[in-house]
Amino acid sequence: MRLVIIALAATAAATSGAAIAAKPSPLSPPPASGTGLPSGQCIRSSEIRNHTVGDRSTLLIDVQGKGAYRVTMKGSCLAGATSSDPIITRSPPGATIICKPIDMDVAISKGGFATPCIVDSIVKMAPEEVAALPRKLKP
């Protein structure tokens, strides 16, 4: 009897875990590593007006007058971060315009401590992509 209960509990846990894992992400698959912006879509960090944390490696930003951008990080530097956590951007030496991932120096402040992130890709989101996002993810 005890083995049956343990087996049922294990089956229930596996099934619920599969259901959670099967939940589709509202974000499209990330762009290829190293993807940057074409010259006409480059931005300045001073133009960033709002941000939301899409998932553990995706930051969605609203850039004044230019639309929404998806910034994908290497690793999980945004794990545990919320959209209300401030982001810290600095201009790397010699770079005033952000066109490539290496041009963006970003960190997220969690509990007063800055966690630096390595930017993997930056792409401008199409208006349709932004419209398809759940309200809580719109930057």
Sheet of 119-124, strand order = 48-55, 58-63, 67-73, 119-124
Closest C-alpha to 26, from 133, 127, 131: 133
The per-residue pLDDT for range 27-66, each reduced to its tens digit, is 889 999 999 999 888 999 889 999 999 999 999 999 998 8
**Distance spanning both ends of the chain, measured CA to CA:** 53
The per-residue pLDDT for range 70-90, each reduced to its tens digit, is 999 999 999 989 999 999 988
pLDDT of residue 58: 95
pTM above 0.75, yes or no: yes
Q: What percent of the chain has pLDDT over 90?
A: 58
**∠ CA 82-83-86 to the nearest 5 degrees?**
95
d(CA 114, CA 55): 18
> Looking up tokens 């846990």, which residue turns up?
13
d(CA 19, CA 134): 20
* Domain-wise residue ranges, the chain: 2-137
Count CB neighbours of 60 within 10 A: 23
Label residue 9 by pLDDT band (50, 70, 90): very low
